[in-house]
Copies of this chain bind each other. A is one copy, B any other.
Amino acid sequence: MLTERSVRIVAAHKLLRRSRRTEAGEFLAEGAPAVTEAIAAEARVPGTVRELYLTEAAGSRHPELARQAFAVGVPVTQVTERAAAALTDAVTPQGLVVRCTLPTATVEDLLATGPRLLAVLVQTSDPGNTGTVVRLADAAGADGVIVAGAAADPINPKAVRASAGSLFHLPVVTAPDAADLIGQLGRAGLSVLASTGHTDLELGVADRDGILDLPTAWLFGSEAHGLPAPILAAADERIRIPIYGRAESLNLAAAAALCLYASAAAHRRAG
């Protein structure tokens, strides 16, 4: 016989599928960093987290999490190891998962905050990369991340995991059309810089020339294909990271780290 609890877990399990996340307006985030940050976010923005699922073992390893969840009014449901495994696509389930409300912020909302530094992923397909860039953007003090075009769902379980909790720190919004987005970024007063291996202007030269001092949206393309030609053409500047050795290219996380940190440093110098 299905108990009410098992019905809820089956419903939560389905959130591993994108279509179900969109329908339900909910997603799952797994592991101690994500759960900790989600509960902290609930304290700032009530309604962020709907339920915490916890195995007995995870509850003993992280006794503070159930306490913090209670303190902000998040229901805590103890689940079996088997149920916890059904709430993740990870090979090694961590035994702690939060069910959260899908973020509803839009590009317009983000631009209305007057951002000084944004990371924009254009048609990147690897959710792990998306999550990694969210974490990097957070570390570099960026004001948000935009996932544009037919890109990976930023709320995919792998992306949530790779973001290591940063998904709950800064707005991560989607834009259906990358070309339209670039127009919008420009009208919002942002300098649109495209990170690409195929151009002359080096990051260090752009920095010395003051190009990085302006409020900036950095565009990053997929590792396999880079940025689409029309997007490259529409950017204000195309900037490359020099390759000093014989590697053919940098991976996306490395390129994003170098570009976002260069901008962060320039903004701090420019004041």
A-side interface residues toward B, CB under 8 Å? 33, 132, 135-142, 164-166, 169-170, 204, 241, 243-251, 253-258, 261, 264-265, 268
A-B contact pairs, 18 of them (CB 8 A): A33-B248, A132-B251, A135-B251, A138-B246, A139-B243, A139-B244, A139-B245, A139-B247, A140-B244, A141-B244, A165-B247, A165-B248, A166-B246, A166-B247, A169-B246, A170-B245, A253-B257, A255-B257
Task: For A136, list chain B residues within 8 Å (CB).
Answer: 247, 250-251, 254
Would you list the 10 A-B pairs with minimal beta carbon distance, nearest first?
A: A141-B244, A254-B257, A139-B247, A138-B247, A138-B245, A141-B245, A169-B246, A253-B253, A257-B257, A139-B243
Q: Are B169 and A265 in contact (CB under 8 A)?
A: no
Given A253-B253, A255-B257, 20 more A-B residue pairs with CB atoms under 8 Å apart are A33-B248, A135-B250, A136-B250, A136-B251, A136-B254, A138-B245, A139-B247, A140-B244, A140-B245, A141-B244, A141-B245, A142-B245, A165-B248, A170-B245, A170-B246, A241-B261, A253-B254, A253-B257, A254-B256, A254-B257
Q: Report which of B135, B243, B253 forms a contact with A247, defined as CB distance below 8 A.
A: B135
Task: For A250, list chain B residues within 8 Å (CB).
Answer: 135-136, 139, 257
Task: For A243, list chain B residues within 8 Å (CB).
Answer: 139
